[in-house]
Amino acid sequence: MLQKNILKLMFSTLFTFSLMLGLVIFLPLSIITKSIQNLNPGLSFQSTNGNWWNGSVWLSYREFKQVNMQWELDLQHLWSGQIQSRVNIEHSSLKGSTLVTVPLHNLYSKNSVELYLDGGQFTASIAQIIHYLPSTPYPLPPITSHYWAGYTF
């Protein structure tokens, strides 16, 4: 009789744990984006695809309209206490990708969250982003790119 009760308790615990894990893993991205949008009213999401660990969103933030952001979470780093993801951003005037790392302990602190960007590569057209820059008292000279010692300016 005691073994049946222990077996029932074990299966109930396993079922509850599996259900909770499934709800977290398959949490719709729209719920997460609504929470983020409530925290930052200047940010708006047009569409979402995928899940929180691998997906994409079309968003607008201030003057930047129709920005496509894609990410792929590296789940191996969760065991080391970090969230790490490759993030790609595409806009008509900006394209780039970077590796984003956030320590998990920062998500629970009331202070500002530390965010580490590593290996970021972005390309921008000066002609297209010039109107996002603050006005200057003098006109900017035409900017051309040239190569020097392997670096692009």
Kindly report, residue by residue over 2-20, the tens digit of the pLDDT: 688 888 889 999 999 998 8
CB 22 within 8 A of CB 34: no
Kindly report, residue by residue over 52-84, the tens digit of the pLDDT: 888 899 998 877 788 899 988 888 888 888 888
Per-residue confidence at 128, pLDDT binned at 50, 70, 90? low
For the chain, domain boundaries: 2-132
CB 91 within 8 A of CB 83: no
Helix (H) or strand (E) holding 4: helix 2-25
Per-residue confidence at 153, pLDDT binned at 50, 70, 90? very low
Percentage above 70 pLDDT, the chain: 77
- What is residue 111's three-state secondary structure? coil
Give the list of residues 6+ apart from residue 11 with CB closer than 8 angstroms, or none.
none
CA distances from 108 to 53, 104, 111, 114, 137 (A): 19, 7, 9, 12, 44
End-to-end CA distance of the chain: 77
